Amino acid sequence: MSPQRPKSPANRKSIKLPIILMAWPATAIAVCIILSVISSSLIQDPISAVDGELFTQTSPIKAVFNTILFVIGAASVAFGPISFVVGLVLLIQRKSGK
């Protein structure tokens, strides 16, 4: 039986990366929902819908902001399960000491 050497901080693997990989999809969705609510209440369209009009014109700022929120949310949904599984595997490997 060989004596075990104490691990130095440089050799010890951190669990920050697996936790971040597992948490970012839910965090991104929550941030997108909160920002969407805030943007809909702050950036209101000055032109109200006239009777018989199906759609109203939106401001370009709101359209760009909603597009950015959509891309963030879509990336979170598309890459979230993969990221969660990779983070879980890394976490298990680092906790088991391999």
Q: Is the residue at 8 inside a domain? A: no
Q: Is the residue at 52 inside a domain? A: no
Q: Is the residue at 79 inside a domain? A: yes
Q: Is the residue at 7 inside a domain? A: no
23 CB neighbour count, 10 Å cutoff: 13
Q: Is the residue at 74 inside a domain? A: yes
Mean pLDDT of 37-66: 76
Q: How many domains does the chain have?
A: 1
**Domain with 31 in it:** 16-42+62-96
Mean pLDDT of 41-65: 73
Which pair of structure tokens corresponds to residue 13? Answer: 């693997």
pTM of the model: 0.69
Contact between 66 and 3 under an 8 Å Cβ cutoff? The reply is no
Q: Is the residue at 90 inside a domain? A: yes
Q: Is the residue at 32 inside a domain? A: yes
Question: For residue 25, with 0-12 CB atoms within 10 Å meaning exposed, 13-18 middle and 19 or more buried, which class applies?
Answer: buried
CA-wise closest residue to 18 among 81, 97, 94: 94
Q: What is the pLDDT of residues 37-46, one digit of tens each?
A: 888 888 776 5
Mean of pLDDT over the chain = 82
Q: Is the residue at 51 inside a domain? A: no
